[in-house]
Structure 1
Amino acid sequence: MDVVTIGETMVCFTPDSSPLMRYAHTYSQRFGGAETNVAIGLSRLGHQVGWISKAGNDEFGKALLSFVRGEGIDVSQVKIDPHAPTGLYFKEVRSGDNVRVQYYRKGSAASTLTPNDLEEAYIAKAKYLHITGITPALSDSCYQTVLHAIAIAKANRLKVVFDPNLRKKLWSEEKARSVLLEIAALADIILPGIDEGSFMFGETDPEKLGELFLQHGASVVILKAGAKGAYYFTESEKQFVPGFSVKTVVDPVGAGDGFAAGIISGLLDNLPLEKIVERGNAIGALATQVMGDFEGLPDRFELNQFMYSSSDEDVSR
């Protein structure tokens, strides 16, 4: 096992007939969740990934598990809750830079995760534990579960990768800041956006943020700057890696998860940090060009074609 991740994945409904839900008569059903988006991205690149979660004993939960399993992800640690439902959300893609999301996840099956749902031997088999700031926001038991997972990782010498993935709708700003800083102090590799860093530390300068995250406990900080690219910081080096240009952004949701998948994949492939961040930038860019949270995540061939092809001409016809 290369990576284990923990978190909620939900059923996503997107209007077909109109981008605004008030006028929509038909919807497309998809799936989405930060952790499985990353897992899918890694699986498509040939890595072995396990996902820990809960789903409802309903048709949505069954569909969700079938789908994630079909993407090559191990779901043996996903438990079925007979009492709580699978979470839902609706996504309005009004334009490439205007996406609105409405969640219906309160009391969902995944929000009932507890430390007892974790199997230490399973996590110990992996090389990396991937955590986001979404899971601890779902409930106190989810928060405790994340801390327990990190403790297991530390005890078994796994590297902890943390994407703050701030969701202000899920909790108070005071609680969010406190917990994100707590987990950041335990992470080995942290993947914040500049806005998230500003929220956590009250600082907007990228270089100062990099220093603050390093001082706070991380050994590698990769700071996302949107379409421009990303910075990376360690005790001995720092650099900015420019992003990839995209002609049209179709759906930006999931780009950060694609970026995280690229980073973890690069770490697993033992690439130099500059190349790791370059891969993250490339997958993040690819993710924005297709509707859906994970649909644009590439396999190795598609990734290499995007990163290294000198022509946009389609010669595969």
Structure 2
Amino acid sequence: MQGILTIGEILVEIMRKEKDVPFNFPGEFIGPYPSGAPAIFADAAAKLGFPSAIIGAVGNDEFGMLVLNRLKNDGVDVNHIKILKNYLTGIAFISYFSDGSRKFIFHLKHSASSRLSAKDIDENYVAQFKHLHIMGSALSTSRSIRQACYKAVEIAYNRGASISIDPNIRPELMSIQKIREICKPVIDKANIILPNIEELKILTGIKDMDSACSKVLKEGAEIVAVKMGAQGSTIYWKNEKKHIPAFKVREVDPTGAGDTYDAAFIVGLLKGWSIEKTGYYANAAGALAVTKFGPMEGCPTHSEILELIKREWPEILNMFKA
């Protein structure tokens, strides 16, 4: 087995050009940009030089071709992305605010992505992969895509592949309680959980991060990597804990940073790196992701990550020469 597989929504994003302009006021937008959390993840892994693939669907339209071409050009295996004639590619509109918050309007429920189903999951294809990554946003898109993800998880689990999940909670798509319910079947079989700090609280019902991660590990996960934005990340495994500080960069657009972090983290683990080395690598990848406008535009290459590490923390660069 080799490579990383993900499944889920493929869409474009159209964003407010300026901050603090709510959707109920006229204003300028820019885009479309290739997006969809699983698509960003797959693209980020491929740009890091690791074999990656995505199972999904787009419409037979220019938005779909935009994302499909980007993924293909960056080295993602797109052979299992369906092009549907009777459905349109999904769209997300985003508005940014000065306090760091974002508002989303999703057009996904009747999009091409929502039509993906369990029958689109080829057992022999899924069995080729060393790792399967699932996003909570994919589970929230539609019941049929949720069943597709569950089927892939069963195949990967039974074949001994490692599994990760990013809860990627989107209240705009589904209630918090429902998201907890639909994530549980994947979390129960996942080796690696990749929440942000708020998602960790939501999933466990525990405010204290140490206690929440202890609960997740006791329930079967091997690693919990908590993304903390400007505070970096904290990684829990066995009876150990490691905080990795954030890299200092100029933030342009935070969308996609968590997905890029996920990809770099999984790539590091699959390369057999230590938790500490993997954590620094993932933090650097996530930091670089926010330096460009557009959710997929900032996905870095391996050399760009090393350049950031060299500039910010040259004392740890030797860690990456081995």
Q: TM-score, normalised by structure 1?
A: 0.92
Secondary structure in 2 matching 1:186: coil
User: C-alpha displacement at 1:266, in angstroms?
Assistant: 0.6
Q: Could you say which residue in structure 1 is the equivalent of 2:10?
A: 9
**Cα pair 1:95 1:250 within 8 Å, conserved:** no
- Structure 2 Cα separation of the partners of residues 32 and 260 of structure 1: 15
| 19 and 172 in structure 1: CA distance in 2 versus 1, 3 angstrom threshold | closer
- Aligned residues with identical type, % of pairs: 33
**Aligned pairs for 1:1-317 within 5 A:** 1-16=2-17, 20=21, 22-24=25-27, 27-95=30-98, 97-246=100-249, 248-309=250-311
- The one-letter code of the counterpart of 2:278 is I
Q: Number of residues paired by the alignment?
A: 311
User: C-alpha displacement at 1:303, in angstroms?
Assistant: 0.5
Secondary structure in 1 matching 2:132: strand
**Cα pair 1:18 1:24 within 8 Å, conserved:** no
**Cα pair 2:257 2:287 within 8 Å, conserved:** yes
- Residue segments in structure 2 that go unaligned for 5+ positions in a row: 315-322
**Cα pair 1:250 1:290 within 8 Å, conserved:** yes
Q: Could you say which residue in structure 1 is the equivalent of 2:317?
A: none
- Structure 2 Cα separation of the partners of residues 12 and 146 of structure 1: 23
User: C-alpha displacement at 1:96, in angstroms?
Assistant: 7.7
User: C-alpha displacement at 1:295, in angstroms?
Assistant: 1.1
- Structure 2 Cα separation of the partners of residues 197 and 15 of structure 1: 29
- Structure 1 Cα separation of the partners of residues 204 and 81 of structure 2: 35
| 3 and 62 in structure 1: CA distance in 2 versus 1, 3 angstrom threshold | same
**Cα pair 2:127 2:156 within 8 Å, conserved:** yes
Q: Deviations over 1:35-81 (max 9, x none)?
A: 11111111111111111001112232223212221121110001122
Secondary structure in 1 matching 2:188: helix
Stretch moving more, 123-132 or 178-187: 178-187
- Residue segments in structure 1 that go unaligned for 5+ positions in a row: 313-317
- Structure 2 Cα separation of the partners of residues 80 and 136 of structure 1: 20
Q: Deviations over 1:230-273 (max 9, x none)?
A: 22222242222222123x32111111111101101111221100
| 86 and 304 in structure 1: CA distance in 2 versus 1, 3 angstrom threshold | same
User: C-alpha displacement at 1:216, in angstroms?
Assistant: 1.8
- Structure 2 Cα separation of the partners of residues 50 and 244 of structure 1: 29
Q: Deviations over 1:148-202 (max 9, x none)?
A: 0100101221100111111111112221111223321111111111111111111
| 19 and 218 in structure 1: CA distance in 2 versus 1, 3 angstrom threshold | same
- Structure 2 Cα separation of the partners of residues 45 and 308 of structure 1: 17
Secondary structure in 1 matching 2:43: helix
Secondary structure in 1 matching 2:54: strand
**Cα pair 1:2 1:48 within 8 Å, conserved:** yes
- Structure 1 Cα separation of the partners of residues 177 and 17 of structure 2: 38
Secondary structure in 2 matching 1:198: helix
**Cα pair 1:96 1:249 within 8 Å, conserved:** no
- Structure 2 Cα separation of the partners of residues 115 and 310 of structure 1: 45
- The one-letter code of the counterpart of 2:184 is L
Q: Could you say which residue in structure 2 is the equivalent of 1:315?
A: none
